[in-house]
């Protein structure tokens, strides 16, 4: 990171454990963490919490953090996912050029460790299929049964395991299991599978292997081989810790300390790569980086900044108890960040034409506009004012209610950076719909102030009709219409809660000419409308902007009460 993160003195429980370990001299007072994603999908905001926790711990305690790919399942893993994960971690601000590792680098060492356990009589080759294995394992209330192959001799197991490695058996026909205790109260300890046969090419090792380690076997070994001191996991791995400990203790190798914390749950969002993959594969969204997705790449495309996500992760903190975070808090962090650094521009996304009848037809008046009132160094720009303009359709009412202060027949308003204008007439089509407003302007009010001191109650944004830039605007809302998308009726899945109004595309929108200089990935504030990010689909002929967030901050409003 470019900015140093100072250690918190009001320590969360993870930092408290690490502080005690340093003070006691455990691990020679060193700290070595890791972030271990499986490259079987794109990372989401929940992973961002884990990334920032592990890398910030290493930074705060002058240690190291590895980015390690748990690539033990060739059927689901792809280089596309590896590349996306590397891009996401770097975008979040972490330097990983010298700290990228892969579980596949340790396949031979894991195999050798398995041989050790077989020779010690603590692992055996089993011929039970997956369904039979489940039946033999028992349940949470009933003990399991020993496999009929559990008492094979060491020599027989060594021979069969080598034949498994050499590709002499079909997929699923045999597994290597640890010999622990089929009556153990922790079901994970009931002779868990260590290796399965998969005749599939691996994205890195190719066809060298046809047996692949199970996650529970590989996880602790990878941490051990890399010298990890503190293995930070989410709570669902707590019941697996005794198995990791057992493997490491039997092999008598370096033993990291596993610490579990509560994963991130958020309203209106699913945090499962399996479910996100379904959305992508079923074309319910437009890819992993769809701005409605909770993926880091989707949020980046939507216009969220890495600083805002880091602030969000620091705000929610680290806890041991599961909870659900309001999605509005994330948007609050995004607004806080963008308010400080996003330049302001004017755009009209639901245009209504205005003709200023007393303004010269061919005249263009270039007005001074402030780029960012929160940043004096951002400077100013020129905005063209012409006879024909566009305003937001919602900023005009022919018969306004009492508290509507914007434009109406006979009413005077201020145009931002421009002049006072008064609506003098309304043009309608054959359906009776308003298609154009006729207005007059006061040339003495240039810059937005009247020499005679008269005041108006509304200031509106606008865009020149002749000098504007054409744009497509994509308005994004929550992907799901309920706070808990997994709460469905019997026979349904989470997709039943998809929000049919999560995307609204507006075409023929108009932006001020300065927007031509905005590059894909850059976020600006459309005055009075919200924050918008220039999308990668933009062309020279038509810009495309994604709405990042509205200006209204519901979370801040509620939490001020």
Fold of the domain spanning 13-261: Rossmann fold (3.40.50)
Nearest residue to 211 via CA among 224, 223, 194: 194
Q: How far apart are CA 353 and CA 2, in angstroms?
A: 47
Q: Give ranges for CATH 2.40.240.10 in the chain.
A: 265-346+468-561, 349-461
For 272, which DSSP code? -
Distances (CA, A) of 183 to 142, 245, 432: 8, 18, 80
Q: What is the predicted pLDDT for the residue at 560?
A: 63
Averaged pLDDT, 468-483: 97
pLDDT tens column, 430-442: 999 999 999 999 9
Q: Categorize the per-residue pLDDT at 553 as very low, low, confident or very high, splitting at 50, 70 and 90.
A: confident
Averaged pLDDT, 191-195: 98
Averaged pLDDT, 217-226: 97
Distances (CA, A) of 102 to 39, 51, 80, 219: 10, 16, 15, 11
Q: Which CATH class is domain 265-346+468-561?
A: mainly beta
Q: Say if residue 8's pLDDT is above 50.
A: no
DSSP SS3 for 58? helix
pLDDT tens column, 513-528: 999 999 999 999 999 9
Contacts of 90 (CB under 8 A, 6+ apart): 96
Q: For 444-449, which contacts have Cβ atoms below 8 Å and span 24 or more sequence positions?
A: 445/414, 445/419, 445/420, 446/365, 446/367, 446/418, 446/419, 447/367, 447/368, 447/417, 447/418, 448/414, 448/415, 448/416, 448/417, 448/418, 448/419, 448/420
Q: Categorize the per-residue pLDDT at 375 as very low, low, confident or very high, splitting at 50, 70 and 90.
A: very high
Pair 422, 439: CB distance under 8 Å: yes
Rounded to a whole number of angstroms, the distance between the first and last alpha carbons of the chain is 35
Cα atoms in the 13 Å half-sphere on the side-chain side of 200 = 16
Q: What is the predicted pLDDT for the residue at 2?
A: 34
> Listing from the earlier edge strand, what are the strands of the sheet with 344-345?
344-345, 523-526, 530-534, 543-549, 469-476, 503-511, 347-348
pLDDT tens column, 200-209: 999 999 999 9
Nearest residue to 313 via CA among 99, 100, 56, 523: 56
- Superfamily of domain covering 349-461: Ribosomal Protein L25; Chain P (2.40.240.10)
233 strand-pairing partners:
260
Q: What is the predicted pLDDT for the residue at 118?
A: 98
pLDDT tens column, 61-94: 999 999 999 999 999 999 999 999 999 999 999 9
For 407, which DSSP code? B
Q: Say if residue 47's pLDDT is above 60.
A: yes
Choose between 4 and 541: higher pLDDT: 541
DSSP SS3 for 464? strand
Q: What is the predicted pLDDT for the residue at 11?
A: 82
Averaged pLDDT, 268-274: 95
Q: What is the predicted pLDDT for the residue at 556?
A: 66
Averaged pLDDT, 48-65: 97
Q: What are phi and psi of 391, to 5 degrees?
A: -125, 170
Average model confidence (pLDDT) across the chain: 95
Q: Give ranges for CATH 3.40.50.620 in the chain.
A: 13-261
Q: Categorize the per-residue pLDDT at 3 as very low, low, confident or very high, splitting at 50, 70 and 90.
A: very low
Averaged pLDDT, 167-175: 97
Q: Say if residue 5's pLDDT is above 60.
A: no
Q: How far apart are CA 526 and CA 390, in angstroms?
A: 14
Q: Say if residue 555's pLDDT is above 90.
A: no
For 343, which DSSP code? P
Q: Which residues are catalytic?
A: 38, 263, 273
Q: Say if residue 236's pLDDT is above 70.
A: yes
Q: How far apart are CA 123 and CA 152, in angstroms?
A: 10
Q: Is the pTM of this model over 0.85?
A: yes
Q: Say if residue 7's pLDDT is above 60.
A: no
Averaged pLDDT, 238-262: 97
pLDDT tens column, 87-144: 999 999 999 989 999 999 999 999 999 999 999 999 999 999 999 999 999 999 999 9
pLDDT tens column, 315-344: 999 999 989 999 999 999 999 999 999 999
Q: What are phi and psi of 347, to 5 degrees?
A: -145, 150
Q: How far apart are CA 405 and CA 394, in angstroms?
A: 12
Q: What is the predicted pLDDT for the residue at 250?
A: 98
Torsion of CA 387, 390, 395, 398, to 10 degrees: 60
For 454, which DSSP code? -
526 strand-pairing partners:
345, 530
Q: How far apart are CA 81 and CA 74, in angstroms?
A: 12
């Amino acid at each position: 990171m470019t900015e140093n993160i100072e250690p918190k003195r009001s320590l969360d429980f993870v930092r408290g454990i690490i502080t005690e370990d340093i003070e006691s001299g455990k691990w020679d007072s060193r700290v070595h963490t890791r972030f271990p994603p499986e490259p079987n999908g794109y990372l989401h905001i929940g992973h961002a919490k884990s990334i920032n926790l592990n890398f910030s711990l290493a930074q705060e305690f002058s240690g190291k953090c590895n980015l390690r790919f748990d690539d033990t399942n060739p059927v689901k893993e792809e280089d596309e996912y590896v590349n996306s994960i590397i891009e996401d971690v770097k975008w979040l601000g972490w330097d990983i050029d010298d700290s990228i590792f892969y579980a596949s680098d340790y396949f031979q060492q894991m195999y050798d460790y398995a041989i050790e356990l077989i020779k010690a009589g603590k692992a055996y080759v089993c011929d039970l299929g997956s369904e039979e294995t489940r039946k033999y394992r028992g349940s949470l209330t009933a003990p399991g049964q020993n496999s009929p192959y559990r008492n094979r001799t060491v020599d027989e197991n060594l021979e069969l395991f080598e034949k498994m490695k050499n590709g002499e058996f079909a997929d699923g026909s045999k597994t290597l299991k640890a010999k622990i205790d089929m009556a153990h109260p922790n079901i994970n300890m009931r002779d868990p599978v260590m290796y399965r046969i998969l005749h599939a090419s691996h994205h890195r090792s190719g066809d060298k292997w046809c047996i692949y380690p199970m996650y529970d076997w590989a996880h602790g070994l990878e941490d051990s081989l890399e010298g990890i001191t503190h293995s930070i996991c989410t709570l669902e791995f707590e019941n697996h810790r005794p198995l990791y400990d057992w493997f490491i203790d039997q092999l008598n190798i370096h033993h990291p300390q596993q610490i579990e914390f509560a994963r991130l749950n958020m309203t209106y969002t699913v945090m499962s790569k399996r479910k996100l993959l379904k959305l992508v594969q079923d074309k319910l969204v437009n890819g992993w980086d769809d701005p409605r997705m909770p993926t880091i790449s989707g949020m980046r495309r939507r216009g969220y900044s890495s600083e805002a996500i880091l602030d969000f992760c620091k705000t929610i903190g680290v806890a041991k108890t599961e909870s659900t975070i309001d999605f509005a808090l994330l948007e609050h962090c995004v607004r806080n960040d963008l308010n400080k650094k996003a330049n302001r521009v004017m755009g009209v996304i639901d245009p209504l034409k205005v003709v200023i009848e007393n303004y010269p037809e061919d005249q263009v008046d270039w007005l001074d506009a402030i780029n960012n009132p929160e940043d004096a160094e951002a400077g100013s720009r020129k905005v063209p004012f012409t006879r024909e303009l566009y305003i937001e359709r919602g900023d005009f009412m022919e018969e306004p209610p009492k508290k509507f202060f914007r434009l109406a027949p006979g009413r005077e308003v201020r145009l931002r950076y421009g002049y006072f204008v008064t609506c003098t007439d309304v043009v309608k089509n054959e359906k009776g719909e308003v298609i154009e407003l006729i207005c007059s302007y006061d040339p003495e009010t240039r810059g937005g102030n009247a020499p005679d001191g008269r005041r108006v109650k509304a200031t509106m944004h606008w865009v020149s009709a002749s000098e504007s830039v054409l744009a497509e605007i994509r308005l994004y809302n929550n992907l799901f219409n309920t706070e808990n998308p997994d709460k469905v009726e019997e026979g349904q899945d989470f997709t039943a809660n998809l929000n049919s109004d999560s995307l609204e595309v507006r075409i023929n929108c108009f932006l001020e000419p300065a927007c031509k200089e905005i590059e894909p990935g850059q976020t600006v504030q459309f005055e009075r409308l919200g924050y918008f990010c220039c999308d990668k689909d933009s062309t020279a002929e038509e810009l495309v902007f994604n709405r990042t967030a509205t200006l209204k901050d519901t979370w801040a409003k509620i939490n001020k009460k």
